[in-house]
């Protein structure tokens, strides 16, 4: 009896030992697989890589320690982009990724995506960004998807050539159809030529139809001339002399700034996010409200400044129509004159009689531009004017600013706008402002080398 019990216990113990060995082997295999996978994904470098991606998108090492819930919506979008880049998915889809980025972050993101090894789908209104990363363009055209090889410039050139060829083929087809139809109409009731008429009719029915090229609406608008001698006199000059500015002596943003905005200046403010570009522009635009701690901001009492902020929607009465918004700052002016001025921003018809809150982001931006240009400013201060604009409208903005005869200071992440309009790059960096000695391509290289 005791012998049998001993044998059972020994057998049970042997079985348990075997199960433990199998479990240990399974755990060992799983652990080996985990280590292999960690090595495959370079897990030891995960934290430094995540930190580098966040820093590239403008989230510095100190900010990286904060909970995500403490960030604003725009910054959370950057975190979402960083997470997508870190995961390295097989297909990465980005919808207007540059809308919430500053210039430095756009340059970094373009450089990173240009080296992306997997599939990438991007929707963007930033042409230079697309030129830097795209290998194919898919164009939504009349309810169809048409694919083009190359970047955006290649697409624009190829499409223009294709449309020109289509126009020639349509014209040739139309002339041939007209000639054949003329023969049919002339001999339709001639019995001797009945067979010829029928063959011509069949030829018309079989002829391939080449559709006409539809006239595309090329949007345009204009900024009013500053008028008088404002554009070429001291009226148009803004000077910052030995300016030190901050919200307190303990939080100084700039020290000893000496710069001038001339009547014909075309300036782009560039610098890292948080360097103070928008603050500097606000100091110039609203010098009566924002006083420097030292030095002074000089503007002639007759100088008219138009200031477009990133938060321009907050300055609009969303329940009013564009005409009513303009009438509020131009009392007594006839409606037709108000509508005509709004029309210079590409808004016409019933759009100007609809409440602003029913308009698209781009249309609201144009309303804001109409309001700030009503007084014919000698100088335009534009803070991220392209955020809500599509490619065609940005093209129109470039042309309008090139024709504008006043001074211009601009903050933008759109490389095409900067390169197309601005003649000077002012760097806002380390509490000071200085003119960059070089063109935009050199500035981009400087940023990527940092």
Say whether both 77 and 187 belong to one domain: no
pLDDT level of residue 266 (50, 70, 90 thresholds): very high
Indicate whether 202 and 251 sit together in one domain: no
CATH of the domain at 57: 3.40.50.300
Identify the domain containing residue 80 by its residue range: 45-133
19 found inside a domain: yes
Based on the domain organization, do 335 and 191 belong to the same domain?
no
pLDDT tens digits along 99-153:
878 888 899 999 999 999 999 999 999 999 999 999 999 998 878 899 999 999 9
- The 10s digit of each residue's pLDDT in 170-215 is 888 888 888 878 877 777 777 777 777 788 777 777 777 777 767 6
Position 10 scores a pLDDT of: 57
Residue 224 counted as domain residue: no
In a domain, 37, yes or no: no
Is residue 91 in a domain? Answer: yes
Structural domains in the chain (count): 4
The reply to whether 200 and 253 lie within a common domain is: no
Q: Place 2 in a pLDDT band, splitting at 50, 70 and 90.
A: low
pLDDT digits (tens, 9 = 90+) for 285-337: 887 778 888 998 888 778 888 999 888 887 888 999 999 999 999 999 999 99
> Is 148 part of any domain?
no
CA angle 179, 185, 186 (to 5 degrees): 90
Q: Answer yes or no: do 24 and 55 share one domain.
A: no
**Residue among 372, 433, 436 nearest 404 (CA):** 372
Average pLDDT of the segment spanning 262-290? 87
Question: Does residue 167 sit in the same domain as residue 287?
Answer: no
Q: How do 432-435 and 119-123 pair as beta strands?
A: unpaired
- What is the crossing angle of helices 103-114 and 440-449, to 10°? 80
Q: What local confidence, expressed as pLDDT, does residue 230 receive?
A: 45
**Same-domain check for residues 257 and 296:** yes
Residue 140 lies in a domain: no
Report which secondary-structure segment, H or E, holds 334. Answer: none
Read off the pLDDT of residues 345-372 as tens digits, 9 standing for 90 and up.
888 888 889 999 999 888 898 899 889 8
Whether residue 25 is predicted with pLDDT greater than 70 in this model: the reply is no
CB 44 within 8 A of CB 35: no
Do 83 and 179 belong to one domain?
no
For residue 218, being part of any structural domain is answered with: no
> Which domain-ending residue is among 171, 206, 241?
206
The total number of residues written for the chain in this structure? 450
What span, in angstroms and rounded, lies between the C-alpha atoms of 245 and 408? 22
Share of the chain above pLDDT 70, in %: 87
Look at residue 443 and tell me if it is in a domain: yes
pLDDT at position 262: 86
Lowest mean pLDDT segment, chosen from 114-123, 232-241, 420-429: 232-241
Residues 248 and 185 in one domain: no
Range 236-257 average pLDDT: 85
Contact indicator for 285, 297 with CB cutoff of 8 Å: no
Quote the crossing angle between the two packed helices 361-373 and 322-329, to the nearest 10°: 20
436 and 325 together in one domain: yes
Most confident by average pLDDT, 45-49, 143-147, 219-223: 143-147
Helical ranges in 57-102 per DSSP H: 73-87
pLDDT in tens, 139-168: 988 788 999 999 999 999 999 898 888 888
Q: 323 with 201, same domain?
A: no
CB atoms within 10 A of CB 259: 18
Note the pLDDT of residue 49: 86
- The verdict on 77 and 129 lying in the same domain is yes
Percentage with pLDDT > 90 across the chain: 31
Q: How far is Cα 129 from Cα 25, in angstroms, rounded to an integer?
A: 52
């Amino acid at each position: 009896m005791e012998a049998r019990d001993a044998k059972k216990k020994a057998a049970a113990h042997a079985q348990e030992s075997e199960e433990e060995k199998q479990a240990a082997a399974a755990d060992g295999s799983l652990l080996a697989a985990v280590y292999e996978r960690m090595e495959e994904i370079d897990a030891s470098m995960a934290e430094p890589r995540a930190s580098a991606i966040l820093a590239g998108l403008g989230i510095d090492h100190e900010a990286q320690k904060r909970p995500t819930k403490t960030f604003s919506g725009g910054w959370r979008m950057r975190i979402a982009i960083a997470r997508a880049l870190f995961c390295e998915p097989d297909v990465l889809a980005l919808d207007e990724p540059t809308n919430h980025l500053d210039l430095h972050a756009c340059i970094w993101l373009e450089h990173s995506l240009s080296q992306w090894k997997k599939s990438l789908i991007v929707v963007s209104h930033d042409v230079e960004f697309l030129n830097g990363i795209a290998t194919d363009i898919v164009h939504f055209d009349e309810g169809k998807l048409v694919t083009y090889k190359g970047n955006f410039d290649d697409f624009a050139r190829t499409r223009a050539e294709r449309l020109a060829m289509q126009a020639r083929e349509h014209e040739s087809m139309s002339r041939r159809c007209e000639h054949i139809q003329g023969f049919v109409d002339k001999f339709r009731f001639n019995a001797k030529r009945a067979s010829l008429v029928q063959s011509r009719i069949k030829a018309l029915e079989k002829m391939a139809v080449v559709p006409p090229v539809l006239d595309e609406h090329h949007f345009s608008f204009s900024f009013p001339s500053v008028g008088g001698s404002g554009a070429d006199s001291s009226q148009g000059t803004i000077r910052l002399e030995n300016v030190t500015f901050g919200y307190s002596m303990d939080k100084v943003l700039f020290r000893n700034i000496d710069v001038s905005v001339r009547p014909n200046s075309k300036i782009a403010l560039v610098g890292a996010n948080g360097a103070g570009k928008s603050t500097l522009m606000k100091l110039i635009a609203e010098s009566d409200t924002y006083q420097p701690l030292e030095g002074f901001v000089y503007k002639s009492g007759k100088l008219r400044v138009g200031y477009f902020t990133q938060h321009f929607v907050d300055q609009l009465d969303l329940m009013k129509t564009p005409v009513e918004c303009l009438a509020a700052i131009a009392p007594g002016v006839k409606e037709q004159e108000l509508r005509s001025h709004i029309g210079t921003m590409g808004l016409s018809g019933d759009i100007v009689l609809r409440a602003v809150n029913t308009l698209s982001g781009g249309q609201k931006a144009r309303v804001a531009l109409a309001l700030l240009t009503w007084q014919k400013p000698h100088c335009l201060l534009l803070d991220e004017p392209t955020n809500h604009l599509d490619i065609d409208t940005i093209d129109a903005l470039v042309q309008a600013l090139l024709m504008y005869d006043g001074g211009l200071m601009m903050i933008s992440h759109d490389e095409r706008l900067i390169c197309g309009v601005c003649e000077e790059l002012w760097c806002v960096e380390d509490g000071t402002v200085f003119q960059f000695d070089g063109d935009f391509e050199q500035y981009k290289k400087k940023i990527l080398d940092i």
